[in-house]
Amino acid sequence: MFKHIRSFVGKLFNENQQMLVVMYLSHFYWFLRKYFLAVEIIYPEEFLTNWSIIKHYSSQDRERNFTVYQMIKVHNEIFKDKKTNVIEFGVDRGGTLTTISKFVKDSSEIYALDSFGFFSDDIKSNVTKYDQHYLGTYRPFTKKTRFKNFNYLALEKQLNEILIKKESNLNIIKCYFPEKIDDEIFKKISSIKYSFVHVDFDLYKPTLDVIKFVIPRHEKNAIILLDDYNLINQEGVKWAVRDSGVNINKCIQTQSGQLICYT
């Protein structure tokens, strides 16, 4: 029942307004953790500094972004002596990509894919029965809503100014993966092994497509982090994981709804 109520109420607001409400409620909930469970997390200053910037446009709350931060740190230790390739599916307005870019190890090539509102018709036409929140007339991820006044090329330039100091590089790719993407770019990303993968596509079909793409192309000990795994209005992500054949016994479900898979 609550799932349907949350879905109905959420659709009354545009996507940016929804994010602000989520941020407020999440902050209040995790604030209470200290007083009800006697649990207090001391966040690193560098993380908080980054969060103070990205929280204004992030699609994740602080807890989920902290998971991204921590897993990038783990990744850096595992692969500290190697050149690495990192890929993100679902950039949104760049909150997690900024976190990844700022804290990833030196000598990392980063690829980031999103529709950025240009392929909203394709996204809508591929909504499935597993994506109940997105059925009907509701149209997310459009140029008029989430990506209004957003320039992904400006984001790429901004983050590369940070990455060049690490002898690293970011390539942001506008596409509808995997059906509508430049052939040469697809060949390039298909020929690479990845050490860290972040997936935030929200829906069943694109998430399943990504998992099938990534599994044969991950490095030994790579980390795959899926957002929205336990979010009740994005249940297509959980169905995609189940149908992909991922060994759930080698994964960790976080308290904030993500799934961490070790390979």
Q: How far is CA 144 from CA 7, 136, 226, in A?
A: 20, 18, 26
Query: What pLDDT is stored for residue 263 in this prediction?
Result: 74
Q: Are 91 and 114 in contact (CB under 8 A)?
A: yes
Average pLDDT over residues 198-220: 97
Q: Are 50 and 98 in contact (CB under 8 A)?
A: yes
Could you read off the pLDDT of 12-44 as tens digits, one per residue? Answer: 677 777 777 888 888 888 889 989 999 999 999
Query: What pLDDT is stored for residue 17 in this prediction?
Result: 77
Q: Please, which residues have CB within 8 angstroms of residue 14's CB and are 6 or more apart in sequence?
A: 145
Question: Of the given ranges (14-28, 79-93, 112-126, 131-145), which has the lowest mean pLDDT?
Answer: 14-28
Q: Please give the torsion angle defined by the CA atoms of residues 119, 159, 171 and 167, in that order, rounded to the nearest 10 degrees.
A: -170
Q: Mark 152-181 as b/e (b = at least 16 C-beta within 10 Å).
A: beebbeebbeebeeeebebebbbbbbeeeb
How far apart are the C-alpha atoms of 228 and 238, rounded to whole Å? 8
Q: Please, which residues have CB within 8 angstroms of residue 83's CB and are 6 or more apart in sequence?
A: 107, 108, 109
Question: Cβ–Cβ contacts within 10 Å for residue 84, how many?
Answer: 23
**pLDDT band at residue 230 using 50, 70 and 90 as cut-offs:** very high
Strands 194-199 vs 218-226: parallel, antiparallel or unpaired: parallel
Q: Are 134 and 203 in contact (CB under 8 A)?
A: yes
- Record the pTM: 0.95
Domain CATH for 237? 3.40.50.150
The residue range of the domain holding 156 is 2-262
Percent of residues, the chain, with pLDDT higher than 90: 81
Helix (H) or strand (E) holding 6: helix 2-10
Q: Is 163's pLDDT higher than 70?
A: yes
Looking at the structure of the chain, the number of domains it has is: 1
Query: What pLDDT is stored for residue 209 in this prediction?
Result: 98
Q: Are 62 and 51 in contact (CB under 8 A)?
A: yes
Query: What pLDDT is stored for residue 249 in this prediction?
Result: 94
